Homo-oligomer: A and B are copies of this chain.
Amino acid sequence: MWLMRQAGRYLPEYRAVRAQAGDFISLCTTPPLAAEVTLQPLRRYGMDAAILFSDILMLPWALGQGLRFSEGEGPVLPPLRTSEDLAKLDRSKLQGAIEPILDTVRRVRAEVGDATLIGFAGAPFTVACYMVEGHGSKEFAAVRTMAYRDPVMFGALIDLLVETTVEYLAAQIDAGAETVMLFDSWAGVLPPALFRAYVIAPAIRIVNALHARYPHVPVIGFPRGGGLLIREYADRTGVQGLGIDTTVDPVLAAALVPLNVALQGNLDPMLLEAGGPAMEEHTHSILDAMRGRPFIFNLGHGIVPSTSPEHVAELVRIVRAA
C-alpha cells in the first residue's frame, strides 16, 4: 500500500520543509529537501512504496516552457498554441534540467530500504492539457480544439512528449526507480476516439520503449476518468499495473481487468479526510473486491491538504490488519 500525494501539505513535517524551500519548484529541484519529503510518509507510516516527490509539469519545465505555481491558483504556463511555440521547446535542455530530480531519486534509493521507489511522469495527453491551456481547467477545451482543428500540430506535440517522457522515465530508472507510474489525470475529458489516439496509443509507445530497455521494471498506468475504456487500456498498453480512480467500482474492475495486471486504488480521498466508520467500511469493501488478485491499496486520487495525519495512520492500521 501507498497513497497518492502521501508526501504533501497534510503533513506538518512537509510544511516545515516546504517553508524552508521557498517556492514549489525549488522544493522539487533541491535534492536533499525533495528526498526528505519523499521519505517522510515512509518514516511516519511505513508505507510499502515511496513515490518521488515531484510534479507532472517538471517535464515541460525541463523543456524550457515557463512554469510557476501560484498560491491557490495552481500551475501557470505561457500557453502553447502555435507551431512557433512548439518549436521553442528545447530537448537539448532536458538532461541538464532534470539532473536535480535524478539526484533526488539516487538519494531516496540510498535510504528507502525494502520499500519500492516509484518514479513517475505525467502522461503525454495530461501534460499537453496544461501546456496548451496554460493552467488547470474543468474541461480543457483548448486542447481538444487543437486536437480537432490541427491534428498535425497536436500529434507533433504528443510525439515530442512520448519521446521525452521515455527519456525522462528511463533516466529515473537508471537513477534507481524500481517502478514507474504514468499519470493521465485528464484522460477523462476525451471522447473515445481521442482517448484511443492520445491516451492509449502514447501509453503503448512509452511502455514498449521502456520494456525494451528495462524488461523487469513494471509500469503502472493511471488513465483517470477512463470509465468504460479501462479494460481496453489494460489490454492494449502492456502496463503491469492499472490505477483506478475513485469512481470505478472495484468489483467491476476486478472482473474486467485480467489477472496479470495488478489493480491499484481507489478509496475516495474525501473518505480519508472524513475518517471514522465510513472510511473503514469502504476500505473493507475495496479489499474484499480485490481478494485473490494482485492489488496495491491506494486512494482514487491524491490526499487533500485538510486530511488529518491521524486518519492516514488509522487507514494504514485497517489495511494492514485486513
Interface of A toward B, CB cutoff 8 Å: 136, 138-139, 141, 144-145, 148-149, 151, 188-195, 225-230, 246-250, 252-253, 256, 266, 268, 270-271, 273-274, 276, 278-279, 282, 285, 300-301, 304
Kindly identify which residue among B253, B266, B278 contacts A148, using a CB–CB cutoff of 8 Å: B278
Number of copies: 2
Q: Are B227 and A270 interface neighbours, CB within 8 A?
A: no
* Chain B residues within an 8 Å CB radius of A301: 139
Q: Are A249 and B145 interface neighbours, CB within 8 A?
A: no
Q: Are A270 and B228 interface neighbours, CB within 8 A?
A: no
- What are 24 A-B contacts defined by CB distance under 8 Å? A138-B138, A141-B270, A141-B273, A141-B304, A144-B270, A145-B273, A148-B268, A148-B278, A148-B279, A149-B276, A151-B278, A191-B271, A191-B300, A192-B247, A192-B248, A192-B250, A192-B252, A195-B247, A225-B225, A226-B227, A227-B228, A228-B228, A229-B247, A229-B252
Q: Are A191 and B246 interface neighbours, CB within 8 A?
A: yes
Knowing A247-B188, A282-B191 are in contact, say whether A274-B228 is a contact too (CB < 8 A).
no
Q: Given contacts A148-B271, A229-B249, could you give 9 more A-B pairs where the C-beta distance is less than 8 Å?
A: A139-B301, A145-B270, A148-B276, A149-B274, A149-B276, A188-B247, A191-B268, A192-B252, A229-B247
* Nearest-neighbor residue (CB-CB) of A138 within chain B: B138
* Nearest-neighbor residue (CB-CB) of A189 within chain B: B247
The smallest beta-carbon distance between A22 and chain B, in angstroms, is 27
Q: Are B247 and A190 interface neighbours, CB within 8 A?
A: yes
The smallest beta-carbon distance between A130 and chain B, in angstroms, is 14
The smallest beta-carbon distance between A138 and chain B, in angstroms, is 6
Q: Are B193 and A282 interface neighbours, CB within 8 A?
A: yes
**How far does the alpha carbon of A246 sit from the alpha carbon of B141 in the complex, in Å?**
12
**How far does the alpha carbon of A250 sit from the alpha carbon of B229 in the complex, in Å?**
11
* Chain B residues within an 8 Å CB radius of A249: 192, 228-229
